[in-house]
Amino acid sequence: MTLHLNLEKLFASLPTLFNKGYVFLFFTALLIVFFILKKYQYLLRSLLPFKYIEKSITEDLLKQLYHITSGQKITDFRMLSRALKIPERKILKVFESMTQNGLIYISDGHITLTKTGKNYALSIIRIHRLWEKYLSEKTGFDKSLWHDLAEAKEHQLSKEETEALYEELGRPRFDPHGDPIPTALGEMISEMGTSIVGIPKGTVAKIIHIEDEPKSIYRKIIKEKLHVGAHVKILTSDDHHIIFESEGHSIQLSTIVASNIQVVLLNSQEAYEEGKVRLSSLIEGEHATILGISSECRGANRRRLLDLGFIKGTLLTIEYMGPNQNPRAYRLRNTLIALRNDQADFILIEKTQYDRTRIL
């Protein structure tokens, strides 16, 4: 009887154990494994039979060649070997196969894509950018992971699956970084933006593209909560740094980092809202009116905030703050709703004077 009761207590406590530390450890371990696989992908691939890795290496090379030739640069097999971290002996075998299949031709030691090779490269870029769009719209993955996840998926989707994904996403023209998505026929929309570096003081513009490579620079940009669609106002700029305002925050970037951001001037239908700030900037005693939800917030996350009542025109204030002021509880429509600061960053507000005749 005692043994039976002890077993009952043990099994009753299992859900609690798994709900606490074990679930966290599991996902932490999963993330570590993902980064190890990404970092040593070509080393691990070398353990597989050659026929299983030739396709993905071929596609990686085609993509790399497309980006190099689009920048009107030249390359050879040694440069590509170093760039992709693939042993030269293995990359030579792949080049022989690519030449036989009419994907590339070699002249004076330099490698060039054929028309067939260019179309193949564009089809891989199409899958990559569509999958990044899918990750941004349909999942909760952090934007710093989109590129690596898409790098793996681009080798797996068939033509039919790619077109089904394209239709499911509503036939998008751009990926979440602002890069144009090639059509099924290999057509590419030309980019019309200009670098934010060198724009005169006082200019207001809209971000249309953020380059996600190299990763070290991309991380610095997204750390500032910058995103495609955000409005910016140039405060000052010189040869070394640029300072601009976006969503109520003053941001300083080196010109090296800022050169990865492309913008366009606002058109006649768009207006720069001076008082627009993020909800996370609201402090105790202040009141605000919701102006909208950032275009950076997509999919399920956007629907959840709308369902919770964060709708344009709604009044709100802070009721409680957690440890280190995170999370915070906001009162709106006579309801208390707790949000983490990273969630509150998605909600754009204008701070207002409190009107006692209106109900929060």
Question: Is the bond preceding residue 172 a cis peptide, omega within 30 degrees?
Answer: no
Which part of the chain is CATH 2.30.30.90?
A: 194-265, 276-352
> How far is residue 341's CA from residue 48's CA, in Å, rounded to a whole number?
45
Greatest Cα pair distance in the chain: 85
Span 19-77, pLDDT tens digits? 555 555 666 676 676 566 555 554 444 444 444 478 888 999 999 999 888 877 878 77
252, β-bridge pairs: 243
Separation in Å, CA 168 to CA 133, 165, 217, 294, 359 = 11, 5, 32, 23, 41
Q: What is the pTM of this model?
A: 0.73
Taking only the tens of pLDDT, the chain with its 360 residues reads 444 444 444 445 545 544 555 555 666 676 676 566 555 554 444 444 444 478 888 999 999 999 888 877 878 778 888 877 788 777 888 888 999 999 998 888 788 899 999 999 999 999 999 999 999 988 878 888 999 999 999 999 999 999 999 999 999 999 999 999 999 998 988 767 899 998 999 999 999 999 988 889 999 999 998 999 899 999 999 889 999 999 888 999 999 999 999 999 988 778 787 788 999 989 888 899 999 998 888 878 888 999 999 999 999 999 888 888 889 999 998 899 999 998 999 999 999 865 544 545
Tell me the backbone φ, ψ of residue 288, rounded to 5 degrees.
-150, 160
Q: Does domain 276-352 have CATH number 2.30.30.90?
A: yes
Q: Which runs of consecutive H residues, i.e. helices, occur in the chain?
A: 2-17, 23-39, 41-45, 50-70, 77-84, 88-100, 115-138, 143-153, 159-168, 215-223, 255-258, 299-307, 341-344
CATH architecture assignment, domain 194-265: Roll (2.30)
Instruction: Quickly name the fold that domain 45-113 has.
Output: Arc Repressor Mutant, subunit A (1.10.10)
Which part of the chain is CATH 1.10.10.10?
A: 45-113
Q: How many CA atoms lie within 13 A of 168 on its CB side?
A: 14
Residue 155 host element (H or E):
none
Span 267-295, pLDDT tens digits? 877 878 778 899 998 988 889 999 999 88
> How far is residue 30's CA from residue 24's CA, in Å, rounded to a whole number?
10
Burial class (CB in 10 A: 0-12, 13-18, 19+), 268: exposed
> How far is residue 163's CA from residue 169's CA, in Å, rounded to a whole number?
10
